[in-house]
Amino acid sequence: MRAPLPYLLFPALGLIISACGNPNAPSMQQAQAAEAIDVSLLDSNYAPQDAFFEFVNQRWIDNHPIPASKSSWGAFYELREQSLAALKGIHEEAATSQAAEGSPARLLGLFWNSAMDSAGIAQAAWTPLQSLFAEITWTNEPRERGQRFASLLRNGGSAPISMYVYQDLKKADRYVLYVNQAGLGLPDRDYYFRAGERAEKVRAAYKKYQIDLLVSTGMSMEKAQLAGKNIYELEMTLAKASMTLEELRDPYASYHPKSLNDLNQDYPQLDWTTLFRRLHLNTDSVVLGQPKFMEQLNKLMEVLPAETWTDYLRFHTANSFAKYLHPEAETLRFAFYGTELSGKTEMEPRWQRMVSVSDELLRDLLGQEYVKKHFDEQAKSRALALVENLKKALGNRLSSLDWMGDTTRVAALEKLDKMMVKIGYPDQWRSYDGLELKEQHLVLNYQTAYAFEFDRMAKKLGQEVDRREWFMGPQTVNAYYNPTLNEIVFPAAILQPPFFFAEGDDALNYGGIGMVIGHELTHGFDDQGRQFDAEGNLRSWWTKADEQRFNAKASRFVQHYNGYEPLPGVFINGELTQGENIADLGGMLIAWDAFKISNKAKSTEPIEGFSPEQRFFLSFAQIWRGHDKEAYLEQKLYTDPHSPGKYRVIGVLSNFPAFYEAFNVKEGHKLWLPDSARCTMW
């Protein structure tokens, strides 16, 4: 429904990683500093010069196994657990209040009661989807096909295309409608073609899931087996026509302006006029993401039997809503996406799953309450000071780069100067006036709330771009850079340990939240972000010579990270992860610069036996503490633009001269690289 955020600090992967504040944080700097880095957790079985991640984190990892209901466990996930509990309290308070009709508390309470009505949901089985199943029966009439796609897209279902309203990449002062490839049930198009025993096992499990889910909806086994075969073949054909994740990194490759007349003429098997009208999208132009995909989709709509399309839409509708339905549907979906792909052996408790759903749909209602209860406003002022120091540090580096010419340098400094900073929570909250939830099945309330958000998005067309808009709630432990607004955003929930210590020493904060801030700042100049100018427009503002020098340096990052093998035979994809890897090293460099300036006149006395410089690197490593179940790690290696946490640490430190000095890294140590092999950019 919405444009994805390509520059997150941490992958969302289908869940909102949230956290509550820490109202009981120590008030004395030294006490917090000692608590922040627990030296008893440092593992002397590992030399920091050889295995710094393990030296800092392995003992913690050994003492914190991944729960059965999780695919990963670590710093982010611990904070998420705290947040879920806090958001649960907000829901329960709302559900028992005598709030007025239409009030925020009333909406939260109604949604929560419907979400937690396990008995009613189990009894209803597939009943809430019967009307939608009836609406999506395929037809030979393009106009009626447009109506069917509209019913799915506006109500939270799945169609072979995705649509969202977002800033025009080349004219960032206006909104435009984007139409992109979609329609696959596996995590990525390459899952349909990757060789190997594990890949075959995943495909077999997915095919079985397709059949089992169709049978659950009431289809006979014989028909479901034939339908499943046809659905999978349809998806595989769409996958062949889909762009790869690496190709999608090029913003120009997915930018193809088309008029409504063009769409109706070039892809006539779908009545685009009807589709837009039914979705309340008042526009006569779009940006089409992948024309080759659309050509293939149009051909399939022309040649495949109506029954195949009906079965395809039925499966994907059932799949979209299964996690909100009765236990059989939930269990079938979890067995594939939760266990087979992510390694979980138990579902999260229902209340945790439902908090995440509510956070998706009623984000700002929860966000307002979260800020009232869990955000320390004093943290905002210190965080702003950190941002300013880091911006200065990046400006200094841009000013002195020996490989960047003056023309590009002037434009880069202008972009940095104009970069907006948002910290804590929005100045203006989203309004939910007009949203009408009821005492009814969860799926019906979900569809109502989803349609409300879709309509909010559709109304942007023709309006002035709202530069105040946030794309995360304050309860989210994450951060992002948005290239079309040229902004960095830090929600309230990330301004807490282990990222940020309100009373902590500079080493803690510059190695933690400072790295996060620097990471997002340098995203404005990574392989994707650098293609957007100071106003957020996609255009070439680099000289050709500087582009070539940048690309040569970026290729070193690709080569370096390609060499890491987190699982036997499965390597990091250096091409896919290059933007995040460049931002990780760049963020650490400017965090280090800002730290050295800030700490110049302060005590250099060790704390718990470690110098300020060493504590800077210890703080950095511990924010990435965590581990993944093997199935989930494999999925991340194939689809996530971030390297796994361990490699975000050692990938940076092996290219960081100041780390060599702080921990006496010499030739022969595993983290040592010769100058000629090190990655450099900023």
Residue of 492, 465, 360 whose CA lies nearest to 12: 360
What's the mean pLDDT in 195-204? 97
Q: What is the pLDDT of residue 420?
A: 97
Q: How confident is the model at residue 19 (pLDDT cuts 50, 70, 90)?
A: very low
- Which pLDDT does position 2 carry in this prediction? 41
Which is it for the CA torsion 96, 100, 103, 107, positive or negative?
Answer: positive
Distance of CA 651 to the CA centre of its chain: 21
pLDDT band (50, 70, 90) for residue 377: confident
Q: What mean pLDDT do residues 224-246 have?
A: 98
Please give the C-alpha separations between residue 412 and each of 195, 249, 375, 479, 589, in angstroms, as whole numbers.
Answer: 43, 21, 34, 22, 17
**Confidence at residue 461, expressed as pLDDT on a 0 to 100 scale:** 97
CA separation, residue 283 to residues 4, 69, 175, 237, 421 (Å): 21, 44, 10, 30, 32
Tokens of 667: 């030739």
pLDDT mean over 420-436 = 96
496-544, pLDDT tens digit by residue?
Answer: 999 999 888 999 999 999 999 999 999 999 999 999 999 999 999 999 9
Helix residue ranges, H only, 217-290: 221-241, 260-266, 272-278
**SS3 assignment, position 538:** strand
- Asked whether 458 and 164 are in contact (CB, 8 A), the reply is no
**By C-alpha distance, which of 71, 64, 40 is closest to 625?**
64
Q: Per CATH, which fold does 142-322 belong to?
A: Neutral endopeptidase; domain 2 (1.10.1380)
Q: Is 109 exposed, middle or buried (0-12, 13-18, 19+ CB in 10 A)?
A: buried
pLDDT at 9: 62
Query: Cβ–Cβ contacts within 10 Å for residue 634, how many?
Result: 20
Task: Name the 3-class secondary structure at 305.
Answer: coil
**Do the Cβ atoms of 562 and 629 come closer than 8 Å?**
no
Question: Rounded mean pLDDT of the chain?
Answer: 93
Amino acid letter, residue 180: N
pLDDT digits 0-9 by tens, 452-509: 999 999 999 999 999 999 999 999 989 999 999 999 999 999 999 999 998 889 999 9
pLDDT value at 643 more than 70 = yes
Q: What is the pLDDT of residues 83-121, one digit of tens each?
A: 899 999 999 999 999 888 889 999 999 999 999 999 999
Residue of 294, 525, 485, 503 lying closest to 404 (CA atoms): 525
- Domain residue spans of the chain: 32-63+375-426+470-677, 142-322
458 vs 378, which has greater pLDDT? 458
Whether 18 has a pLDDT exceeding 80, the answer reads no
The type of residue at 179 is V
Q: What is the mean pLDDT of residues 668-678?
A: 97
Cis omega (within 30 of 0) for bond into 498: yes
Superfamily (CATH H level) for 32-63+375-426+470-677: Collagenase (Catalytic Domain) (3.40.390.10)
Query: Looking at the predicted structure, is the pLDDT value of residue 11 above 90?
Result: no
Band (pLDDT 50/70/90 cuts) for residue 36 is: confident
* 192 pLDDT higher than 60: yes
User: Could you tell me if 583 and 8 are in contact, meaning their C-beta atoms sit under 8 angstroms apart?
Assistant: no
Q: What is the pLDDT, as a whole number, of residue 10?
A: 59
Least confident of 17-21, 423-427, 649-653: 17-21
Helical ranges in 440-528 per DSSP H: 442-458, 506-511, 513-523
Beta carbons within 8 Å of 220's beta carbon, 6+ residues apart: none
Distance of CA 338 to the CA centre of its chain: 18
Query: What's the pLDDT at 4?
Result: 44
pTM across the whole model: 0.93
Percent helix, strand and coil across the chain, each to the nearest 5: 55, 10, 35
Per DSSP bridges, beta strands 285-288 and 175-181 are: parallel
Closest by CA position to 324, among listed 127, 95, 471: 127
Could you report the per-residue pLDDT of 305-341, keeping only the tens digit for each? Answer: 999 999 999 999 999 999 999 999 999 999 999 999 9
Residue 20 has a pLDDT of 30
Is-cis flag, bond preceding 491, omega within 30?
no
Mapping DSSP to helix (H, G, I), strand (E, B) and coil, where does residue 167 land? strand
Q: How far is CA 499 from the centre of its chain?
A: 18
Q: How many H helices and E strands in the chain? A: 27, 9
The more confidently predicted of residues 9 and 613 is 613
- Which residue from 607, 598, 539 is spatially nearest to 30, judged by alpha carbons? 607
Task: Label residue 27 by pLDDT band (50, 70, 90).
Answer: very low
**Rounded to whole angstroms, how far apart are CA atoms 519 and 229?**
45
Of 319, 359, 254, give the one whose Cα is nearest residue 12: 359
Query: Can you list the positions of beta strands (E) in 403-442?
Result: 420-424
Q: What radius of gyration, in Å, describes the C-alpha atoms of the chain?
A: 25
Instruction: Give dist(CA 526, CA 176) in Å, integer.
Output: 25
pLDDT, tens digit (0-9, with 9 covering 90-100), for 72-93 = 999 999 988 888 999 999 999 9
Residue type for position 494? I
**For the chain, how many residues are written?**
682
Question: pLDDT tens digits, residue range 137-177?
Answer: 999 999 999 999 999 999 999 999 999 999 999 999 999 99
Tell me what the mean pLDDT of segment 434-443 comes to: 97
| Phi, psi (degrees; rounded to nearest 5) at 307 | -65, -40
Average pLDDT over residues 353-374: 96
Helix or strand run (H / E) with residue 627:
strand 626-628
Judge whether residue 5 has pLDDT over 60: no
Q: Which of 603, 417, 423 is nearest to 499 (CA)?
A: 423
Please report the pLDDT score of residue 14 as a whole number. 29
244 near 573, Cβ under 8 Å? Answer: no
Residue 352 in this model has a pLDDT that exceeds 90:
yes
The predicted pLDDT at position 603 comes to 79
pLDDT in tens, 560-603: 999 999 999 999 999 999 999 999 999 999 999 999 998 886 87
Residues 291-301 have a mean pLDDT of 98
Angle at 12 between CA 6 and CA 18, to 5 degrees: 125
DSSP state of 682: -
What is the side-by-side order of every strand in the sheet holding 480-482? 420-424, 487-491, 480-482
Residue 373 Cα to chain centre, angstroms: 25
Query: Beta partners for 488?
Result: 421, 481
DSSP structural state of residue 221: H
Identity of the residue numbered 452: F
DSSP 189: G
Note whether 665 and 543 are within 8 A (CB): no
